Structures are given as structure tokens and as C-alpha cells.
């Protein structure tokens, strides 16, 4: 096989065979194909696309390029939840204990934050003592013992995807549906799941800004799932504003615990219920949405979901006294109100800017080695369609970095578009595709 012939085929809009795709992935991973030829092929795929069979073959080739976690000794049913990311997205921390409290096993690996989006692993680490770096044996044992474990991955999952993603970033080829779909799905398949629910975020705080493209991406991922024997359901959710009312690690844990106690922001509630319902239906534990909804309500109201979270925190070395008494979380040195530039109605929030402000304050990282300040973040006081006056804060900054305050205030003020008109607010859950 010859990489030049493969590039020429895709350049001329022809279909690649499974063997050609596997050849490219294995030879590129092992360094036998240089970046310039890989870049040419990726650009040809970007311009000419891939059909469903090719996309599924690319997914499996990337999934098979590294370790594949085998969780079959834990359960036949391994459901994973993935979010395409956003600002203030603490849904995993609320959703997964709910699912585990219903007796559905949860073995979930989560990433760390980078750039304007946060990561579940960092958020969990803001609970003193919580260890996200368990060995795979400990991870599996915890799922067997208490039905849930949330860790970060120490495995070399889908390394070909990492290499191709980095290359795409440098050649303007990130926003291609087959490339995004295969990238996400390869990692989910490598992490051992057989049923996958994807929270596909869409809007100013997500990498998919456009709902039509997001729906095509969702259908592509569902199609890959069908081709490779995994059930995939996508919930398209609105990321036109931060999720809930907090952005930043410890602040989001506090909001998540309050949510598990039944005190949920409306958008958090809608997203959590919607994803939980899809997971319950996939697990076969309920026949219809109504009964799945009742099951979720019951585990929250009975306190079973919160108990499961406490059990998880304890099992992974965390200090549960912080969960029982949220005031134990120490506040940072500076808590500063942010006032709007003008009064009126909030018609838009440039959510990515809010994420960037949280990074300035210390809550996130610009590169993967940067240290995070768990106490830093933003409390959102006003959201879309709230009416504001100049003397009422739109947000509060939490930080230990005095010299970042002015810049963060400006970034937050600039992210709020305030006019004298009301806008029609999009629903939180936009569409379910399966
Ligand atoms: N997220 C991924 O994991 N891959 C992409 O290509 C885009 C977003």
C-alpha cells in the first residue's frame, strides 16, 4: 500500500477501503508517514468528506491504535456519558451518582480542563483528598463494590486521535463532521463502553456554534455506533450561557452538591433529567420516559443520589465533611462584584469569554502543565432575559490573583450584551437524536 495513492484517491473524491484507512492510522501512529502527507490526507477528507462506512472504519482504527479498556468483568452494561464541553458544565458530577443510585454501573473516566472549558477530574479534585488517579484495578473494584467510580484516565486511549487532532489544529481542519465524530467516538469505544449518551453542547460556549451542524454531527455519531455495535444517543443542549450559576472547580462542586440535595438551577435540571432518562431507557430499567423521569425524581428526593455521591467521595479518599457542610470550602482572598455597563435586558452572553475570564482568575489552564486554583471562579448572578440595573451585579469574581481582577471584570462585562428588547430564549434541551 502507498500513502500517495491513498491521498490521490481522497483528493479525487473516491471512497477509501478499510485496509487503506487502517494502513494510514497505523503507519502515521508509528511515525512512518510524515506530517505533511498526513496533513494532505486530512485536508482531502476535510474537503471531500467520508461516508458512514469510512467514518466507522476510521473510528475503529483510531480506537484500536492504543489500549482498549475491558470492563466486561465489571458488568455487561457499560454506559458512558460524554459532553462536548462548555462553561460551568458540572452535569457529570450530578448525573452519575443519580445513575449509580438506580443500580446502573458507572465506570467513568473524565478529562481535565484546557482553555475555556473545565474538566470533571479537576472539579472532583477540589474536594480535599479526592483521588482521581486510581489504578485500573482499583477503578474496577470500586465499581464492583459501590457501583460507581469517577477517575481520570491513565491509559493510552486512542493515541492516533491525539496525534491527528493536534495536526488538525495546525492546518485548519478541526471543524469536519467525520473527523470530529470519529475523534469523539474512538475515545469512547477505547474506554470500554457499549452504550454511550452524548451531551452535544451547542451555542456561544461550545465548539459547535450551529444547531444544524450539531444535529448532523449527532446523526453521524449515532450512525458510527450502529455500524460498530454500540448504542449511541445524543442530547443536543443549549450552551448560549454558562450551565447553572457557577464556573470554577470548587464553586461547581458546591452547586453540584446542592443540586443532588434537590436545589437545581432550571437548566441544570433539564439537562440532568434528559440525559438520565436516555441512560435509564438504554439500560432497560424503564419502559418509557415518564417512568424514567419518576425514577430520577425519586432518587433525588429520597436522598439516595446524594448518599451515593458521599459514598463515592469517601471511597476515593475525599473528606465527606465538606459535602455535609459546604461552608467548609474556604473562599479565596477576593470576592468582587461585577456590575453591567448599562441597564436593560440581557439578550446574549458570549459564554466563551466567561470561560476565558475564569481562566484569568486561576480556575483553568492555558496549557496542560499549568496549576489550577480550586477556589477561583465566577458566580453568575444574571442570565439571558434577566433585567439588570447598573447597580446590580451580573456576576461575582472569586480569585486569589489580585492583578487579574480588572481584566476579568472587563471580560465579563464585555460578554454580556444588554439591550432594551427581550429575546426569545432557546430551550435548554434542543433535540434528542438516536
Ligand atoms: N472533541 C473531540 O474529542 N474531538 C474533536 O475533533 C472535536 C472535539
Residue 117: predicted pLDDT: 83
| Residue 387: strand, helix, or coil | strand
CA of 199 from ligand 1 middle (Å) equals: 13
CA of 217 from ligand 1 middle (Å) equals: 11
293 has catalytic annotation: no
Choosing from 187, 310, 353, 382, the catalytic residue is 187
d(CA 315, CA 132): 11
Q: Is the CB of 165 under 6 A from ligand 1?
A: yes
DSSP classification of residue 434: -
Residue 422: predicted pLDDT: 81
- Residue closest by Cα to atom 1 of ligand 1: 184
Residue 310: predicted pLDDT: 98
Residue 115: predicted pLDDT: 81
> CA torsion 389→393→394→400, rounded to 10°?
160
Nearest to 272 by CA among 217, 235, 323, 231: 235
CA of 131 from ligand 1 middle (Å) equals: 26
User: Per CATH, the architecture of 79-324 is what?
Assistant: 3-Layer(aba) Sandwich (3.40)
- Among 1.10.150.20, 1.10.10.10, 3.20.20.10, 1.20.970.10, what is the CATH number of 3-49? 1.20.970.10
DSSP states along 177-226: HHHHHHHHHHHHHHTT-SEEEEEEEESTTSS---HHHHHHHHHHHHHHHH
d(CA 6, CA 134): 42
d(CA 133, CA 106): 16
Residue 24: predicted pLDDT: 98
d(CA 281, CA 268): 20
342 has catalytic annotation: no
- The separation between CA 332 and the C-alpha centre of its own chain, rounded to angstroms, equals 26
- Give me 316's grid cell: 476515593
Q: Is the CB of 180 under 6 A from ligand 1?
A: yes
Choosing from 10, 81, 82, 90, the catalytic residue is 82
Residue 354: predicted pLDDT: 97
Residue 158: predicted pLDDT: 96
Which ligand 1 atom minimizes the distance to the CA of 184?
A: 3
Which ligand 1 atom minimizes the distance to the CA of 183?
A: 4
Residue 248: predicted pLDDT: 97
CA of 165 from ligand 1 middle (Å) equals: 7
CA of 183 from ligand 1 middle (Å) equals: 6
Q: Residue holding cell 486530512?
A: 42
DSSP classification of residue 31: T
Residue 154: predicted pLDDT: 83
Residue 224: predicted pLDDT: 97
- Residue closest by Cα to atom 2 of ligand 1: 184
* Total Cβ atoms within 10 A of residue 152: 18
- Residue closest by Cα to atom 5 of ligand 1: 180
Print pLDDT tens along the chain (434 aa): 999 999 999 999 999 999 999 999 999 999 999 999 999 999 999 999 999 999 999 999 999 999 999 999 999 999 999 999 889 999 999 999 999 999 999 999 998 887 888 899 999 999 999 999 999 999 999 999 999 999 998 899 999 999 999 999 899 998 899 999 999 999 999 999 999 999 999 998 888 888 999 999 999 999 999 999 999 999 999 999 999 999 999 999 999 999 999 999 999 999 999 999 999 999 999 999 999 999 999 999 999 999 999 999 999 999 999 999 999 999 999 999 999 999 999 999 999 999 999 999 999 988 878 899 999 999 999 999 999 999 999 999 999 999 999 999 999 999 999 999 887 878 999 999 99
User: In which residue ranges of the chain is CATH 3.90.1170.30 found?
Assistant: 332-419
Choose one of 45, 183, 205, 220 to mutate for the ligand 1 pocket test, by most ligand atoms within 8 angstroms of C-beta: 183
Nearest to 263 by CA among 88, 86, 81, 94: 94
> Element (H or E) spanning 415, and its range?
helix 405-415
User: In which residue ranges of the chain is CATH 1.20.970.10 found?
Assistant: 3-49
Angle at 219 between CA 215 and CA 221, to 5 degrees: 115
DSSP states along 252-308: HHHHHHHHHTT---HHHHHHHHHHHHHHHHHHTS-SSHHHHHHHHHHHHHTSHHHHH
Tell the CATH superfamily of the 332-419 domain.
Pyrimidine nucleoside phosphorylase-like, C-terminal domain (3.90.1170.30)
Which ligand 1 atom minimizes the distance to the CA of 180?
A: 6
- The separation between CA 323 and the C-alpha centre of its own chain, rounded to angstroms, equals 23
Choose one of 184, 190, 209, 217 to mutate for the ligand 1 pocket test, by most ligand atoms within 8 angstroms of C-beta: 184
Nearest to 323 by CA among 115, 94, 158: 94
Answering whether pTM is above 0.85, one says yes
Please, which residues have CB within 8 angstroms of residue 191's CB and are 6 or more apart in sequence? 69, 80, 109, 153, 155, 157
| Residue 363: strand, helix, or coil | coil
- Residue closest by Cα to atom 8 of ligand 1: 180
Going 255 to 256 to 257 to 258, the CA torsion angle's sign is positive
- Residue closest by Cα to atom 7 of ligand 1: 180
Residue 11: predicted pLDDT: 98
User: In which residue ranges of the chain is CATH 3.40.1030.10 found?
Assistant: 79-324
- Give me 372's grid cell: 489550577
Amino acid at each position: 500500500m502507498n500513502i500517495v495513492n491513498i491521498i490521490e484517491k481522497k483528493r479525487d473524491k473516491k471512497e477509501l477501503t478499510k485496509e487503506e484507512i487502517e494502513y494510514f492510522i497505523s503507519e502515521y501512529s508509528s511515525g512512518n508517514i510524515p506530517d505533511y502527507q498526513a496533513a494532505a490526507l486530512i485536508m482531502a477528507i476535510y474537503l471531500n468528506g467520508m461516508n458512514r462506512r469510512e467514518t466507522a472504519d476510521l473510528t475503529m482504527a483510531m480506537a484500536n491504535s492504543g489500549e482498549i479498556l475491558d470492563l466486561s468483568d465489571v458488568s455487561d452494561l457499560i454506559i458512558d456519558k460524554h459532553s462536548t464541553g462548555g462553561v460551568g458544565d458540572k452535569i457529570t458530577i450530578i448525573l452519575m451518582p443519580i445513575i449509580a443510585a438506580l443500580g446502573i454501573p458507572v465506570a467513568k473516566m473524565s478529562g481535565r480542563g484546557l482553555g475555556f472549558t473545565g474538566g470533571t477530574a479537576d472539579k472532583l479534585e477540589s474536594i480535599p483528598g479526592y483521588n482521581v488517579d486510581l489504578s485500573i484495578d482499583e477503578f474496577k473494584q470500586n465499581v464492583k463494590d459501590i457501583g460507581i467510580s469517577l477517575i481520570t484516565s491513565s491509559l493510552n486511549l486512542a493515541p492516533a486521535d491525539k496525534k491527528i487532532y493536534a495536526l488538525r489544529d495546525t492546518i485548519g481542519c478541526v471543524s469536519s463532521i467525520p473527523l470530529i465524530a470519529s475523534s469523539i467516538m474512538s475515545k469512547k469505544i477505547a474506554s470500554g463502553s457499549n452504550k454511550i449518551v452524548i451531551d452535544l453542547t451547542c451555542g456561544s460556549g461550545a465548539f459547535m456554534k450551529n444547531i444544524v451542524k450539531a444535529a448532523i454531527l449527532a446523526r453521524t455519531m449515532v450512525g458510527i455506533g450502529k455500524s460498530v455495535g454500540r448504542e449511541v444517543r445524543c442530547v443536543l443542549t443549549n450552551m448560549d450561557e454558562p450551565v447553572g450559576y457557577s464556573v470554577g472547580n470548587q464553586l461547581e462542586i458546591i452547586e453540584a452538591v446542592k443540586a443532588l440535595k434537590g436545589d437545581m438551577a432550571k437548566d441544570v435540571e433539564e439537562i440532568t433529567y434528559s440525559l438520565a432518562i436516555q441512560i435509564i431507557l438504554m439500560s432497560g430499567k424503564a419502559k418509557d420516559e415518564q417512568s424514567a423521569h419518576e425514577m430520577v425524581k425519586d432518587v433525588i428526593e429520597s436522598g439516595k443520589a446524594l448518599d451515593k455521591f458521599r459514598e463515592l467521595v469517601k471511597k476515593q479518599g475525599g473528606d465527606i465533611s465538606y459535602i455535609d457542610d459546604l461552608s467548609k470550602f474556604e473562599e479565596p482572598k477576593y470576592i468582587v462584584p461585577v456590575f453591567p455597563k448599562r441597564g436593560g435586558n440581557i439578550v446574549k452572553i458570549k459564554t466563551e469569554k466567561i470561560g476565558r475570564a475564569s481562566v484569568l482568575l486561576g480556575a483553568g489552564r492555558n496549557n496542560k502543565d499549568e496549576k489550577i486554583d480550586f477556589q477561583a471562579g465566577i458566580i453568575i448572578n444574571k442570565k439571558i432575559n434577566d433585567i439588570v440595573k447598573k447597580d446590580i451585579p451580573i456576576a461575582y469574581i472569586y480569585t486569589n490573583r489580585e492583578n487579574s481582577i480588572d481584566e476579568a471584570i472587563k471580560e465579563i462585562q464585555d460578554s454580556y450584551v444588554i439591550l432594551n428588547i427581550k429575546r426569545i430564549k432557546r430551550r435548554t434541551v434542543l433535540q434528542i437524536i438516536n
